[in-house]
Amino acid sequence: EAQVTQNPRYLITVTGKKLTVTCSQNMNHEYMSWYRQDPGLGLRQIYYSMNVEVTDKGDVPEGYKVSRKEKRNFPLILESPSPNQTSLYFCASSRKAGGLTGELFFGEGSRLTVL
């Protein structure tokens, strides 16, 4: 079954404790992206990757890091989480990056709370 898998789905952590949210897709997609969703603000892009070892900043990259060492995985790293990073996070992938005419597949989301 074609899917985008995120882990963990739920996480409560404390300020400053490094954490990683993993994202994996089994569709051999080139394009992967991370979004955060906050009430009243819609989905906002954090980082995206057009292919292996190719990443770029989205609209709200501050406080986040990513890596793309393999095509299927695109982890989101919070080196020193702060309460304003409490949010619902989504990973998504698409077959191609240029034009993005294809469907964007989303994971089930990871709800992160930073105390």
Partner 1 sequence: KNQVEQSPQSLIILEGKNCTLQCNYTVSPFSNLRWYKQDTGRGPVSLTIMTFSENTKSNGRYTATLDADTKQSSLHITASQLSDSASYICVVSGGRRGVTGTASKLTFGTGTRLQVTL
Interface ranges with partner 1 (CB under 8 A): 4, 31, 35, 40-45, 48, 50, 54-57, 90, 92, 97-101, 103-109, 111
Dihedral sign for Cα atoms in the order 26, 31, 35, 40: negative
List C-alpha distances in Å: 1 to 27, 30, 43: 9, 18, 25
CB of 96 to partner 1, least distance (A): 9
CB of 76 to partner 1, least distance (A): 15
CB of 35 to partner 1, least distance (A): 8
CB of 18 to partner 1, least distance (A): 25
Pair of tokens at residue 89: 């996070």
Place of tokens 């955060």: 36
Whole-angstrom Cα distance, residue 93 to residue 75? 13
Nearer to partner 1 among residue 16 and residue 102 (C-beta): 102
Nearer to partner 1 among residue 5 and residue 20 (C-beta): 5
Cis peptide before 8 (omega within 30 of 0): yes
Nearer to partner 1 among residue 14 and residue 111 (C-beta): 111
